[in-house]
Amino acid sequence: MAKAVAQTPTLLMPKATSVWLIENTALTFKQIALFTEITEIEIEALANEEIGRGLVGRSPIDHGELTKTELERCEADPAAHLKIAKRDLPAVKARSKGPRYTPVSKRGDKPDAIAFLVKNHPEISDAQICKLVGTTKPTILAIRERTHPSTPNLRPRHPADLGLCSYQEFEVAYHKGLKAAGKDPEAVKAALEAQQKQELEESAQNQSNNSPTGGFDFSNFMPDTSDASE
């Protein structure tokens, strides 16, 4: 019989929540990053629309993930950390065994999620992918070898963005894969943040170099003041 498992409250849609907090509050990027568990560099990129363009904000207050009192407390103190509101919801029931159930409407997204993991996270084992997405090893192999029927139409997308797993479940699998490969998850995270920062700085520099530096040239419309030759 499945047991009820008490879990730490987490945001359902971290990036959409970040967009809403950026647009509607006076919180710092660091406060938003800590609350949503997204890197501060990504929060800044969202604010500058360098990533997530067109993403619709999601109010954590309307969805019971944050209280207005807590928001006002942290807006008044930039050093304060937001706390996720506790929701009176039934405890999540964890399956002791058996494949992950995926709603029919989401099953068509599985190949895209597998393609994303195979392409971007080789450290995550096939067994972990099976658990995250609710798929089989032959399917993973077919996508990896590009023999899957959906290959021509694949759009690699994060499984958590597709609703096939939670961001917390993905992070657990990601860290497990890094440790199995003999890598320190914190060191890898720091290196990725440094790389993202460098890429954003280079992008900003390129935009600055490509932008026009001069205004409209009025020289052709100015009278000739040079001395006329006799």
In the chain, what is the greatest distance between 2 CA atoms, to the nearest angstrom? 108
The pTM score is: 0.47
Cα dihedral angle (190, 192, 198, 204), rounded to 10 degrees? Answer: -120
Distance of alpha carbon 42 from alpha carbon 36, whole angstroms: 11
CB 36 within 8 A of CB 18: yes
pLDDT in tens, the chain (230 residues): 444 444 556 788 898 899 999 989 999 999 999 999 889 888 988 888 788 777 888 999 998 999 999 999 999 999 999 999 876 544 444 444 445 555 555 567 899 999 999 999 999 999 999 888 888 899 999 999 999 998 899 999 998 888 888 888 888 888 888 888 888 888 887 887 888 788 888 877 777 776 555 455 555 555 555 554 44
CB 4 within 8 A of CB 93: yes
Which pLDDT score is estimated for 140?
92
How many H-runs (helices) and E-runs (strands) does the chain carry?
10, 2
Three-state DSSP class for residue 56: coil
